[in-house]
C-alpha cells in the first residue's frame, strides 16, 4: 500500500508600517521575480550537432527561482563616492530608508577594505514565524551584478528574530555612481524545510512595529553578551 504524506504548511507573517511599500513592492514568492533574461534564454543550443541545454534547463537554477521568497527594492537608491573618494554615499529616493555602515575592523579579514565598502540597508519589514525553521538569507544572485555588489549569506530564524536587513559589500572601482531601481529583487530567503510556505501580510502602526522589533533586538543583545562571555572563558 502506498501512503501519500501531505506537506504541512509553514506560515510566515510579513509585516510593515509603510503602506506604499506593502502595496507597491511587497516581499513575495520568488517565482514572481524570474528575470527576463532567463525567460528569453532558449532551452536548447542548436549550434552544435547534438543539441545542448542552456542555463534555462539547469535544475538547480530553476529550483532556486521556485523556492522561497524575494525582497525587492522598495525604493530607488543610488551609490556614489563622496567628494574625497574615500567613502561611499548610499542615498534612497524615499528619504526614509536608514543605511548603516560597519567599521572595516569588523570585516576586513574577510574582504580587502582597500577595495570594498560595506553598508547595511535597514529594511522596513518584520518577518515573524511561530515555527522554528531556518531560512537561508542570500543575495538575488541571478539578478544582481556579482562584480559590483556582494550580499553575503546567512541563516535566520524568524521565531527568534524579525529583521531582514540587507548587509552588502560593494567594490566601487572607477564608477561615478550606480543606481538600483525600485521593484528589482535584491535578496532572497529560502526556507530549509519541505513545508509549503504561506505568506500573510500585515500593516502595523509604527509604534507597534518598533516595539516588537526592539523585543527581538533585546534577545540578540543578550545572546551576544552570552557568546562574548563564553569566548572569554575559552
Alpha carbon separation from 163 to 26, 124, 160, 192, 196 (Å, rounded): 15, 9, 10, 18, 22
Per residue in 170-206, pLDDT tens? 987 766 788 999 999 999 999 999 999 999 999 999 9
Per residue in 143-170, pLDDT tens? 876 667 899 999 999 999 999 999 999 9
Architecture of the domain made up of 9-34+54-233: Distorted Sandwich (2.70)
The predicted pLDDT at position 234 comes to: 57
Domain boundaries, the chain: 9-34+54-233
Nearest to 161 by CA among 189, 186, 184: 189
The predicted pLDDT at position 1 comes to: 42
The predicted pLDDT at position 87 comes to: 83
Query: In this structure, how many other beta carbons lie within 10 angstroms of the beta carbon of residue 72?
Result: 21
- Residue 203 backbone phi and psi in degrees, to 5: -110, 120
Residue with cell 514568492: 29
Q: Taking the model in full, what pTM does it have?
A: 0.87
Average pLDDT, the chain: 87
Query: In this structure, how many other beta carbons lie within 10 angstroms of the beta carbon of residue 207?
Result: 8
> What single-letter DSSP state applies at residue 219?
H
Nearest to 73 by CA among 97, 39, 101: 97
Amino acid at each position: 500500500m502506498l501512503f501519500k504524506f501531505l506537506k504541512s504548511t509553514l506560515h510566515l507573517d510579513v509585516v510593515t508600517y509603510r503602506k506604499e511599500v506593502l502595496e507597491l513592492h511587497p516581499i513575495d514568492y520568488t517565482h514572481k521575480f524570474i528575470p527576463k533574461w532567463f525567460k528569453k534564454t532558449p532551452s536548447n543550443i542548436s549550434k552544435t550537432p547534438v543539441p545542448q541545454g542552456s542555463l534555462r534547463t539547469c535544475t538547480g537554477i530553476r529550483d532556486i527561482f521556485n523556492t522561497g521568497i524575494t525582497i525587492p527594492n522598495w525604493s530607488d537608491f543610488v551609490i556614489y563616492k563622496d567628494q574625497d573618494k574615500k567613502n561611499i554615499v548610499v542615498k534612497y529616493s524615499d528619504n526614509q530608508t536608514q543605511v548603516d555602515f560597519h567599521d572595516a575592523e569588523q570585516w576586513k579579514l574577510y574582504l580587502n577594505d582597500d577595495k570594498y565598502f560595506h553598508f547595511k540597508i535597514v529594511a522596513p519589514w518584520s518577518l515573524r514565524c511561530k515555527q522554528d525553521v531556518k531560512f537561508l538569507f542570500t543575495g538575488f544572485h541571478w539578478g544582481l551584478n556579482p562584480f559590483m555588489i556582494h550580499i553575503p549569506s546567512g541563516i535566520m530564524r524568524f521565531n527568534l528574530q524579525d529583521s531582514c536587513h540587507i548587509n552588502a559589500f560593494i567594490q566601487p572601482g572607477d564608477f561615478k555612481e550606480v543606481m538600483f531601481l525600485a521593484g528589482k529583487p535584491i535578496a532572497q530567503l529560502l526556507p530549509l524545510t519541505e513545508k509549503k510556505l504561506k505568506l500573510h501580510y500585515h500593516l502595523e502602526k509604527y509604534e507597534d512595529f518598533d516595539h516588537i522589533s526592539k523585543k527581538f533586538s533585546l534577545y540578540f543583545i543578550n545572546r551576544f553578551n552570552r557568546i562574548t562571555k563564553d569566548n572569554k572563558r575559552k
